[in-house]
């Protein structure tokens, strides 16, 4: 059976990983098209939507393009309700990352999917669950040891696109001046970039910032030799974090500010360290460091590809 999966291609590995998990069930993910729509009117395929309510807020869209995208999303959601056997919407964010104003497009699309009977699932249990975010290595690779326990001195890294909602400026204001930190990620916001450079300069921080987009192979290599990954997403922005699952796939401990997501993960995992004052807390986190192989073993036990496929089985075949 075919499963219409939207979007079908994306620069985030999340899409390919989930398509593979669905394929292991003997199902075939296909992109949305007029052909798929026509076939589904007869054979009744399931439809899975990711990020549809976020699409009108693309960072490179003009005002008119956002409105046009909004209309296209309405059409997709309405056609989905009438031409597919079951409709599933995966919630990724509490609000779009590039939202300005009240987010009327987001609110309307979200309400429309509820009204039309879409099954709305989340990537995290605290927000309803139904799915879980995958790790960035398959189950076999998660079994391969990548370093012995007890690596010192400890290394720290922040990675990913540099955006205000990730709160980089917030944690830099209290980052200990005697700890070296590596930042790997592109900042496309010139004003925000200036803010970060000013904090680094004025506080005399020991920071190396590679302000560019890293190929996945290079990023994975960096994560494999890093002890701690810093996260500081502002609360009530994202429901789940790909950075979290990417980091623990390579055995990194997580240091993060409190949020609904991080608080939940802190209750589940000893390798998640929630800070109040970095200057006070960092030595305690170093003393409580969980070695990479233990992190990866625990991560696989909760978030394996096998368990992800089972989640899709429950959504698509029951």
pLDDT at 97 over 80: no
pLDDT in tens, 41-87: 999 999 999 999 988 887 777 889 999 999 999 999 999 999 999 99
HSE value, Cβ hemisphere, 13 Å, CA-based, for 201: 6
Place 29 in a pLDDT band, splitting at 50, 70 and 90: very high
CATH number of the domain located at residue range(s) 2-122 in this protein: 3.40.50
Q: What is the pLDDT of residue 105?
A: 92
pLDDT in tens, 286-296: 999 999 999 99
Place 263 in a pLDDT band, splitting at 50, 70 and 90: very high
User: pTM for the full model?
Assistant: 0.91
Place of tokens 């590809």: 305
Q: What is the pLDDT of residue 150?
A: 56
Question: Does residue 28 sit in helix, strand or coil?
Answer: strand
pLDDT at 137 over 70: yes
Can you say whether residue 240 is alpha, beta or left, with left for phi > 0 and alpha for psi between -120 and 50 degrees? beta
Please determine whether the domains at 2-122 and 141-303 fall in the same fold group of CATH.
yes
Nearest to 255 by CA among 237, 236, 238, 279: 279
Alpha-carbon distance of 113 to 86, in angstroms, equals 12
Question: Does residue 122 sit in helix, strand or coil?
Answer: strand
Question: Does residue 255 sit in helix, strand or coil?
Answer: strand
Structural domain 141-303, CATH architecture: 3-Layer(aba) Sandwich (3.40)
pLDDT in tens, 175-194: 999 999 999 999 989 999 99
For residues 37 and 80, the answer to whether their CB atoms sit within 8 Å is no
pLDDT at 92 over 60: yes
φ, ψ of residue 313 to 5 degrees: the values are -60, -45
pLDDT at 151 over 80: no
Place 148 in a pLDDT band, splitting at 50, 70 and 90: low
| Angle, CA 186 vertex, CA 182 and CA 192 arms, to 5° | 95
Contacts of residue 100, Cβ cutoff 8 Å, sequence gap at least 6? none
Question: Does residue 120 sit in helix, strand or coil?
Answer: strand
Please tell me what DSSP assigns to residue 104.
H
Q: What percent of the chain clears pLDDT 90, i.e. is strictly above it?
A: 76
Number of Cβ atoms within 10 Å of the Cβ of 234: 13
R_g of the chain, CA atoms, integer Å: 21
Q: What is the pLDDT of residue 98?
A: 65
Q: What is the pLDDT of residue 149?
A: 59
Place 16 in a pLDDT band, splitting at 50, 70 and 90: very high
Chain-centroid distance, C-alpha 203: 30
Place of tokens 């989905």: 80
pLDDT in tens, 228-253: 999 987 766 678 899 999 999 999 99
Alpha-carbon distance of 261 to 267, in angstroms, equals 10
Place 146 in a pLDDT band, splitting at 50, 70 and 90: confident
pLDDT at 93 over 90: no
Alpha-carbon distance of 238 to 97, in angstroms, equals 8
Give the residue ranges of DSSP H helices in 136-290: 168-172, 190-203, 216-224, 242-249, 260-268, 278-287
β-pairing, 228-231 with 156-159? parallel
Domain ranges of the chain: 2-122, 141-303
pLDDT at 147 over 90: no
When pLDDT is averaged across residues 158-169 and rounded to a whole number, the result is: 90
For CA atoms 108, 111, 117, 120, the dihedral sign is positive
DSSP string, 162-188: --GGGTHHHHHTTS-TTS-EEEE----
């Amino acid at each position: 059976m075919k499963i219409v999966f939207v979007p079908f291609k994306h620069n985030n590995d999340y899409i390919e990983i989930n398509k593979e998990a669905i394929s292991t069930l003997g199902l075939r993910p296909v992109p949305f098209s007029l052909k798929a729509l026509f076939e589904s009117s007869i054979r009744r395929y399931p439809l899975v939507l990711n990020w549809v309510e976020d699409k009108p807020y693309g960072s490179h869209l003009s005002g008119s393009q956002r409105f046009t995208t909004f209309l296209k999303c309405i059409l997709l959601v309405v056609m989905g309700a009438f031409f597919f056997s079951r409709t599933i919407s995966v919630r990724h964010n509490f609000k779009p990352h590039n939202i300005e104003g009240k987010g009327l497009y987001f609110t309307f699309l979200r309400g429309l999917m509820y009204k039309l009977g879409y099954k709305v699932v989340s990537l995290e249990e605290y927000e309803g669950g139904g799915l879980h975010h995958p790790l960035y290595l398959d189950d076999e690779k998660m079994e391969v040891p990548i370093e012995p326990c007890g690596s010192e001195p400890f290394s720290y890294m922040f990675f990913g696109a540099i955006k205000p909602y990730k709160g980089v400026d917030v944690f830099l204001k209290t980052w200990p001046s005697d700890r070296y930190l590596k930042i790997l990620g592109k900042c496309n916001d010139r004003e925000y970039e200036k803010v970060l450079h000013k904090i680094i300069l004025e506080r005399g921080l020991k920071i190396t910032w590679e302000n560019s987009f890293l190929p996945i192979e290079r990023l994975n290599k960096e994560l494999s030799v890093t002890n701690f990954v810093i996260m500081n997403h502002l609360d009530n922005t994202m429901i789940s974090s790909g950075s979290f699952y990417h980091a623990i796939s390579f055995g990194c401990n997580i240091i993060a500010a409190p949020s609904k997501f991080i608080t939940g993960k802190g209750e589940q995992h000893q390798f998640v360290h929630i800070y109040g004052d970095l200057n006070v807390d960092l030595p305690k986190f170093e003393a409580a460091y969980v070695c990479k192989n233990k992190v990866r073993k625990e991560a696989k036990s909760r978030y394996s590809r096998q368990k992800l496929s089972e989640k899709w089985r429950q959504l698509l075949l029951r």
